[in-house]
Amino acid sequence: MDLDEAKEFKERCTQCAAVSWGLTDEGKYYCTSCHNVTEISKEVINTGDIPNTKIQAINRGLKRKRKLEKGWDWYVCEGFQCILCQQAEALKTLGVGPELKNEVLHNFWKRYLQKSKQAYCKNPIYTSRRKAVVLEENLSHSDWESEPELLSDFSFPFVESGAESQSDVNTQKSFPVIKASQSETASVCSGSLDGVEYSRRKEKGIVKMTMPRTLAFCYLSLLWQRETITLSDLLRFVEEDHIPYINSFQHFPEEMKLYGRDKGIFAIESWPDYEDIYKKTIEVATFLDLPRFPDITEDCYLHPNILCMKYLMEVNLPDEMHNLTCQVVKLTGIGEVDFLTFDPIAKMAKTVKYDVQAVAIIIVVLKLLFLLDDNLEWSLSNLAEKHNEKNKEDNPWFDFRKWYQVMKRTVDEKKQKWEEARAKYIWKSEKPVYHSSIDKSVVYKRREMVVSLQKQFSTLVDSTPTVGKKSPSSFQFSWSEEDTDRTCFHGHSLQGILKKKDQSLTTKNSLYWLSTQKFCKSYCKHVTTYEESNYSLSYQFILNLFSFLLRIKTSFLHEEVSLVEKKLFKTKYSKTKKKSSRSRKVRRY
């Protein structure tokens, strides 16, 4: 808000008669002493360059004065386009090739507009339906439909249901009228041309654009390009604000005004969730009717062999384990091109959760080596410790206990920092988004209050500069040979755990237990459940460690481990079914 710019306005305030004006972000005058916002707005002179050329292309350049605020006429899909553009730019700065934005994502988006009949088709919905909709809107607005809006600021916690779930006006409770003098257009409004209609639209067979789906688009393009960013990386970058998502509408061009129903569409108050985005990715790809994606071969980053290597490094496990993960990949067949490559047109479209799967393979290997029954891993550690004490010169044997101690400490620290950072996260945009014309001034005043309070308290914060925005990295931990707190185990050998058999090495441990005995076969879509207390502490620790790494639920990872085991022990599963034996332990090979 610029006080200087408001100097030329000299009228007295209608509420407090003061002459002290400021300009709101919308270019309206507001009284600095009583915060009364006028309807008079400063004439916007510079309608200059628009940073985004694509928006201009779709923008039909209409200028009508039907709205609360002066600005361009824009459509919801243009808003999403703008956000996708920002996200693509951000990905580019993260090092992704420029083709992702200009070719892949652009094409996906064009295809989406076409499939959803918004553009690039003979009869786009805007030209055909708009008039009818406007008419219908004016007629169908019975009182009760608009009331919740009138009162939304006082007693309805659920009106602003956000983009996660589309609020349906019809489900709102009816409410006695206090004042119905406000015109309906003022209460149900939106900055975009079709915001009101968009938030109501429910068409079968059409995948509606939402904020989480922007990330699905991003991930699809990354996958198409076979980039070195996994889904969990992408979502982590979103949470760390390296990729615009929350409040991304702040960076809309100045003239794209956003209010009313647009709030529910663009303002979002949750970080993306892995499972949700994963599902949406498949949904979008199917809707777009995309062809088979480029093959994921052994030299691709997303191939389990490479991802396993990456995660082994990340969690500080010996490089030698890679040998075993590769064997598991081979035995289970999850390294095959056909298995790994995403094919939306296939009968049962599903893509591999590359990162989760790679981690699950590592967990299976850990179980093969150490059994993780809260017993064997510790006795093997004792052996390793003794050996290492005696042979200080040699390459040390991998000591599970030591590794556990180092990891536990580091992860706990990291987790605490992460939780603190989340608690400090600033959700609200600098530009407040009001829900209806009635609460507009209140929302602005509230924002101003929050800003001034924040300003006051920021002077009381410890002056030592806190670590600023982390630079994006696909690694979250770093290990070094020297630092005893962060001992590096990459070079440690597995000698103590392996033994020679015939000509090859095999694990000393010959037992194994399955994470899931029986898979759920009903239609409820979950294959297994994870009840923490049923499992060994080591297994719990490892699940927690990896699920924190990927920011996913432990149960989700447990499920993936079970699925890998299912492939690895195919014969055992069929046998147990026949014998229906309850033994949890299965002899290996």
Partner 1 sequence: MSDFSGELTRPMAEADQVEKSMLSGTGMSIPWLRKQMETVETGGKKEKDFAKTTSACLGLIQEALLKHQWEKAAEYMHSYFQILEDSDAGKRQAAPEIIWRLGSEILYYHPKSNVETFSTFADRMKNIGVMNYLKSVLLLLQISLQHALYLLHHGMLEDANRSLSQAETWRYGEKSSSQDILINLVQAYKGLLQYYAWSKKKMELSKLDEEDYAYGTATQNMRSHSWKTSVNLSALIQIPGVWDPFVKSYVEMLEFYGDQDGAREVLTNYAYDEKFPSNPNAHVYLYNFLKREKAPKEKLISVLKILYQIVPSHKLMLEFHRILRNSDKEEHHKLGLEVLFAILDFAGCTKNITAWKYLAKYLKQILMGNHLAWVQDEWRSRKNWWPSFHFSYFWAKNDWTEDKALACEKALVAGILLGKGCRYFRYVSKQGHQGLKKKMKRMNRAVKSYSIVDP
Q: Cα(227)–Cα(329) distance, rounded to whole angstroms?
A: 21
**Given the structure tokens 């290997």, which residue do they identify?**
365
Closer CB to partner 1, residue 178 or residue 537?
Answer: 178
Please report whether residue 339 would count as binding partner 1 according to CB under 8 A. Answer: no
Residues 6+ apart with CB under 8 A from 218: 84, 87, 88, 91, 105, 234, 243
Q: Is residue 165 a contact point for partner 1 (CB under 8 A)?
A: yes
By beta-carbon proximity to partner 1, the closer residue of 122 and 173 is 173
Interface pick for partner 1 out of 103, 160, 254, 283 (rule CB under 8 A): 160
Are 370 and 398 within 8 A, CB to CB?
no
467: contact with partner 1 by CB under 8 A: no
* Total residues interacting with partner 1, rule: CB under 8 A: 48
Considering the complex, state which of residue 269 and residue 483 has its C-beta at the smaller distance from partner 1. Answer: 269
Q: What are phi and psi of 533, to 5 degrees?
A: -65, -15
Q: Provide the H-helix boundaries in 141-239.
A: 143-155, 184-187, 195-200, 211-224, 231-239
Sole binder of partner 1 in the list 269, 295, 413, 483 (CB under 8 A): 269
Which residues touch 17 (CB under 8 Å, ≥6 apart)?
Answer: none
Q: Does 424 bind partner 1 (CB under 8 A)?
A: yes
Stretch that binds partner 1, among 264-272, 282-290, 344-352, 516-524 (CB under 8 A): 264-272
Please state the closest distance from residue 129 (CB atom) to partner 1, in A. 30
Name the residue nearer to partner 1 (CB basis): 103 or 448: 448
- Minimum CB separation of residue 128 from partner 1 in Å reads 34
Q: Is the distance from CB of 567 to CB of 333 less than 8 angstroms?
A: yes
Q: Which of 242, 447, 492, 558 binds partner 1 (CB under 8 A)?
A: 447
Nearer to partner 1, 118 or 248 (CB): 248
Minimum gap (Å) between residue 572 Cβ and partner 1: 38
CA 413/CA 238 separation, integer angstroms: 22
Measured between alpha carbons, how far is 210 from 259 in angstroms, rounded to an integer?
A: 16
Dihedral (CA of 194, 198, 204, 210) sign: positive
Q: Which three-class secondary structure state does DSSP give residue 21? A: strand
Interacting residue with partner 1 among 45, 139, 348, 460 (CB under 8 A): 460
Give the C-alpha separation, 416 to 439, whole Å.
Answer: 38
> Which two tokens mark 583?
């033994």
Distances, alpha carbon 32 to alpha carbons 18, 36, 39, 42, 430, in Å: 9, 8, 15, 16, 18
Stretch in the footprint of partner 1 (CB under 8 A) among 112-120, 168-176, 330-338, 580-588:
168-176
Tokens (6 digits) for 378: 């510790």
Closer of 103 and 160 to partner 1 (Cβ): 160
User: 116, 213 in Cβ contact below 8 A?
Assistant: no
Q: Tell me how far apart the alpha carbons of residues 51 and 103 are, in angstroms, rounded to a whole number.
A: 20
Minimum CB separation of residue 271 from partner 1 in Å reads: 5
Residue among 101, 91, 104, 100 nearest 291 (CA): 104
**Which residue lies nearer to partner 1 by CB, 429 or 506?**
429
**Is residue 522 a contact point for partner 1 (CB under 8 A)?**
no
275 binds partner 1 (CB under 8 A): no
Which of 123, 299, 457, 501 is the binder for partner 1 (CB under 8 A)?
Answer: 457
| Residue 427 touches partner 1, criterion: CB under 8 A | yes
157 touches partner 1 by CB under 8 A? yes
Q: Give the dihedral of Cα atoms 26, 32, 33, 37; nearest 10 deg.
A: -10
Site for partner 1 in 134-153 (CB under 8 A): 151-153
Q: How far apart are CA 19 and CA 462, in angstroms?
A: 39
Contact in structure between 566 and 519 (CB atoms under 8 Å): yes
State the CB neighbour count (10 A cutoff) for residue 349. 14
According to CB under 8 A, which one of 92, 428, 486, 490 is a site residue for partner 1? 428
Largest Cα separation within the chain, whole Å, is 97
Complex with partner 1: residue 147 or 233, whichever CB lies closer: 147
CB of 207 to partner 1, least distance (A): 21
Nearer to partner 1, 56 or 555 (CB): 555
Residue 415 is a binding residue for partner 1 (CB under 8 A): no
- Check binding of 158 to partner 1 (CB under 8 A): yes
Nearer to partner 1, 464 or 503 (CB): 464
In whole angstroms, give the CA distance from residue 46 to residue 434: 25
Nearer to partner 1, 265 or 371 (CB): 265
Binding mask 175-214 for partner 1 (x = CB under 8 A): -xxx------------------------------------
By CB under 8 A, name the binding residues for partner 1. 151-160, 162, 164-165, 171, 173, 176-178, 269-271, 419-420, 422-428, 432, 442-443, 446-447, 449-450, 452-454, 456-462, 466
